[in-house]
Homo-oligomer: A and B are copies of this chain.
Amino acid sequence: MKILVIGAGGMLGGQLIQKLATRGTLNESPIAKITRHDVVLPPPPPHSDFPIETIMSDMAAEGQASAAIKDRPDVIFHLAAIVSGEAEADFEKGYRINLDGTRHLLEAIRLQGPDYKPKLIFTSSIAVFGTPFPPAIDDEFLSAPLTSYGTQKAICELLISDYSRRGMLDGISMRMPTVCVRPGKPNKAASGFFSNIIREPLVGLEAVLPVDDSVRHWHASPRAAVNMLIHGAELDTARLGARRAISMPGLSCTVAEQISALIKVAGPAAAKLIRREADPTIQKIVAGWPQNFNTKRAIELGFVADASFEDIIRIHIADQLQGKLN
């Protein structure tokens, strides 16, 4: 079992590789090797009983996709993308990385010939959906993205479904919820505050809340997200039929419910570190985001969401703070 992780340097890629290193197997086969691919040098790999190689290259550059799959990995996790804000700010770069890069990968796989048909797990996004929304987005709701990033993800979903239908690869596009609590420093992503208002107060630091308490959103802990990726890799895709793009289960909750969970887990003092500072730009962006889903298909296929936002906070404390509260 050889595994290639594209976008291995990202948060989810790092946690996925850590988890695979701990398990040592995927789909009941011992892992022989993981190849980490990224455009920048990822952090040092975790300890593992199998070799972990690293390739640095630009998948969107001619020939790089073929080079990345030259030893024919059995499973490919494709997590690489430039984020929504950057794809919106730089039209050409967004299409080059998020669309052409993925297409080069699919073409490189196809051109290996009919005896190579890897499993491909592609992280898509709820950004493939655009307003107006029904109360809960179901499995038959149209993709009408309102960003170039969402457009690029929706196009890759269509390509992966078509290449899979034609037997050139065995793909699944997983529309991930917003990962929360995202570890690391506060960043400028418009969605950053969903994590900031939990992560920072847990270590005694102030966090800014730019939107109203009533804002509702769709979340998954990093641990739940990694488990979904692994479940996607182990899933019998015959169960998917031709519809290879699936909205993943998540937890729908309001900012008020997030804060209430924070108080339950860490006490009222933590919530006092959340400073309300309205930001009309962020409010406008967030108003266009999905709030709730009915992910019947994914649940039937065995994908599992976090049970509560309190659980999401406890997972962050366990995985990022060594189980300790300040």
Q: Which residues of B contact A148 (CB under 8 A)?
A: 162, 166
Expressed in whole angstroms, the Cα–Cα distance for A157 and B145 within the complex equals 11
> A156 to chain B: closest CB distance in Å?
10
Tell me the number of copies of this protein: 2
How many A residues face the partner with a CB closer than 8 A?
A: 24
Expressed in whole angstroms, the Cα–Cα distance for A110 and B159 within the complex equals 24
The A119-168 residues at the B interface (CB cut-off 8 A) are: 130, 134, 139-146, 148, 151, 154-155, 158-159, 161-162, 165-166
> A2 at interface (Cβ–Cβ under 8 A)?
no
Is the CB–CB distance between A143 and B158 below 8 Å?
Answer: yes
The A230-256 residues at the B interface (CB cut-off 8 A) are: 242-243
Is the CB–CB distance between A154 and B145 below 8 Å?
Answer: no
Q: Which residues of B contact A151 (CB under 8 A)?
A: 158-159, 161-162
Q: Which residue on chain B has the smallest CB distance to residue A110?
A: B91
> A289 to chain B: closest CB distance in Å?
14
Is the CB–CB distance between B91 and A144 below 8 Å?
Answer: no
Is the CB–CB distance between B242 and A130 below 8 Å?
Answer: yes
Q: Which residues of B contact A154 (CB under 8 A)?
A: 158
> A77 to chain B: closest CB distance in Å?
23
> A225 to chain B: closest CB distance in Å?
23
Is the CB–CB distance between B144 and A242 below 8 Å?
Answer: yes
> A98 to chain B: closest CB distance in Å?
12
- A interface list, Cβ under 8 A from B: 91, 110, 130, 134, 139-146, 148, 151, 154-155, 158-159, 161-162, 165-166, 242-243
A-B contact pairs, 24 of them (CB 8 A): A91-B110, A130-B243, A139-B142, A140-B141, A140-B142, A141-B142, A142-B143, A143-B143, A143-B158, A144-B161, A144-B242, A145-B161, A145-B162, A146-B165, A146-B242, A148-B162, A148-B166, A151-B161, A151-B162, A154-B158, A155-B155, A155-B158, A155-B159, A158-B158
The 6 closest A-B pairs by CB, nearest first: A151-B162, A144-B243, A155-B155, A151-B158, A140-B142, A142-B142
